[in-house]
Amino acid sequence: MKMKKITYKLFLVTSLILLAFAVLIYLTLYFFLPTFYEQYKTDQLQTGIEEIIDKSKDLSFQNAIPLFDEYAQKNNAMIYLQNNEGAIIYSPFLSFIQGSTQALPGVKFDNTKPLRNSNNLSNSFDVAMPIQFQDGNLTLVVSATFQPINEASQVLVRFLPYISIIVVVIGVGSAYLYSRFITRPLIYINRGAQKMANLDFSEKIEVRSNDELGELSNSLNDMSLNLQQTMLDLQKANQQLQSDIEKEREIEKKRREFFSIVAHELKTPLTVMKGHLEGMMYNIGPYKDRDTYLQKNFQTVQDMEQLVREILGISKLEQHTFKLKLEEVNLAGLINIITKNLGFFASQKDIQIIKQIGSHLSVFTDRALLEKACKNIIHNGIMYSPHGEKVYIKLTQDSKQHHIQFQVINTGVKIKEEDIQHIFKPFYRIEKSRNRNTGGSGLGLYIVKQIFEALFITYSMNNTEQGVQFLVTIPLSIK
């Protein structure tokens, strides 16, 4: 019902306007038509008399008779011709009487007065005018009534009920059709706009014309598309924000877990050192040998220092302000330097390092970070391989020349699948006793993971027939 209010308003206004115009026209006809008709008829009669008088000057009386007959028939007027004695010489409405002296009853004419309307345009037109022929002079008398127009006005009054019915039916019907025609597109556009207001963009408003309503439809469709796109952008932004929040929560959770583990890792050697120092201070039992326990405490401090350095390195990588120092790095030279530095550890376990690398393989990356990651991988391969095994190091470039593959394979060892899934977590060690003599801090592979993610390098660790394979895919440059 609310949507159709404009239809009812337009229908009512249009009906009132049409009815008002109908009443105005009727009143105009009723009051002004008689006066207008009298004036028009008077002018027509006078003009006709002047034309007859003008033409009669060149005609004889007998030749001028057709003019009088035509005038009487055309204007529905009574016309008489009288001589000086007042006798009727000729009239189209009376029988011709030669030499008759019958005068027009009830009418007296003054031949000396000009053309005039004796009743001032009230109900009839009466005039007497001298007229000249070639064979003599006479008096022209013309009389016409305006009664038919008065009767027409009375008929118009009686016909008013019928006219009113016709006017009402036509006016109301026309107003209804007009209002429906005008408001139908508005109602249709309003229905579409309400759907848009309810965020329903499933249907577009059909453009049905090229006028302002068509422009309004186009504008609403454009607004719908823009609003829909904006909502999609906001939804994507909201999803991204939600994802960022979840990631931040996960990072915060991992950070708390990390610091909890760090606190535990630092607490254990500190407790051991405290016990040693107290034993040496009070010369209790074996702690009297201070040199031995000072050496052990010194080694513990070195382990703690190394742990702190690794923790600081991880913290630096996780900072958003950390900037990479990019440069061209020759991978062959880098691997040679790393294997040379780790040769001592390999010789202690009689492990043979076999390198299969090219001499012209270079990438554009951060040299210090890549060196640290590769060193940790090769060091782990040496330390966790049994005595007398081999460590293979391979560098290959793919056919598309987009990246270089770096592989480290240590033979004679396997890692359980459940351990591979967690091996890159901080402080995770396959050897559960957490003895520093049989393993590191548990941060080596976690640092490798952080470095590779910062350098956009993909990596994986898998069991093969030979042993454990660490596969690294290095892009030629960081985009």
CA distance 477 to 479: 6
Measuring CA to CA, which residue among 135, 40, 55, 126 is closest to residue 89? 135
Are 78 and 142 within 8 A, CB to CB?
Answer: yes
User: How far apart are the C-alpha atoms of 44 and 386, rounded to whole Å?
Assistant: 139
Distances (CA, A) of 237 to 177, 230, 241, 242, 274: 50, 10, 6, 8, 54
Residue 329 has a CB neighbour count (10 Å cut-off) of 18
Q: How far apart are CA 162 and CA 167, in angstroms?
A: 9
Tokens 């009389």 sit at which residue? 143
pLDDT in tens, 406-447: 999 999 888 888 888 888 887 777 665 555 555 566 777 888
List, for residues 47-66, the tens digit of each pLDDT value.
Answer: 999 998 998 888 888 888 88
Whether the Cβ atoms of residue 80 and residue 57 lie closer than 8 Å to each other: no
Where would I find the H helices in 360-427? 367-383, 417-420
| pLDDT tens-place string over residues 353-374 | 999 887 788 888 988 889 888 9
Helix (H) or strand (E) holding 407: strand 403-411
CA angle (311 as vertex; 306, 314 as ends), nearest 5: 130
Q: What is the reported pLDDT for 150? A: 65
Overall average pLDDT of the 128-134 stretch:
89
What percentage of the chain carries pLDDT values higher than 70? 84
Question: Count of alpha carbons within 13 Å of 179, Cβ hemisphere only?
Answer: 21
Whether pLDDT at 108 is above 60: no
Compute, in degrees rounded to 10, the torsion defined by CA atoms 316, 317, 319, 325: 90
Check residue 471 and give its pLDDT. 93
Q: Residues 398, 426: contact at Cβ < 8 Å? A: no
Give the DSSP letter of residue 412.
S
Q: Tell me how long the chain is.
A: 479
pTM above 0.75, yes or no: no
Please write the tens of the pLDDT for every residue from 220-256. Answer: 788 878 887 888 888 889 988 998 898 888 878 777 7
Kindly list the structural domains of the chain, giving each domain's residue range(s) and its CATH number in brackets, ordered by start.
2-158 (3.30.450), 323-475 (3.30.565.10)
The DSSP secondary structure of 354-373, one letter per residue, reads: EEE--SS-EEEEEHHHHHHH
CB 261 within 8 A of CB 427: yes
Residue 74 scores a pLDDT above 90: no
Per the listing, tokens 């909201």 go with 238
Q: Is the pLDDT of residue 347 over 60?
A: yes
* Residue 141: strand pairing partners: 80, 128
Q: Contacts for 56-61 with beta carbons within 8 Å, 24 or more apart?
A: 56/131, 56/132, 56/133, 57/132, 57/133, 57/134, 58/134, 59/133, 59/134, 60/133, 60/134, 60/135, 61/89, 61/90, 61/133, 61/135, 61/136, 61/138
Mean pLDDT, to the nearest integer, of 136-142? 89
DSSP H helical ranges for 282-327: 290-318
Residues 315-330, mean pLDDT to the nearest whole number = 76
Tens of pLDDT along 250-261? 878 777 777 776
* Mean pLDDT, rounded, of the chain: 79
pLDDT class of 399 with cuts at 50, 70, 90: low
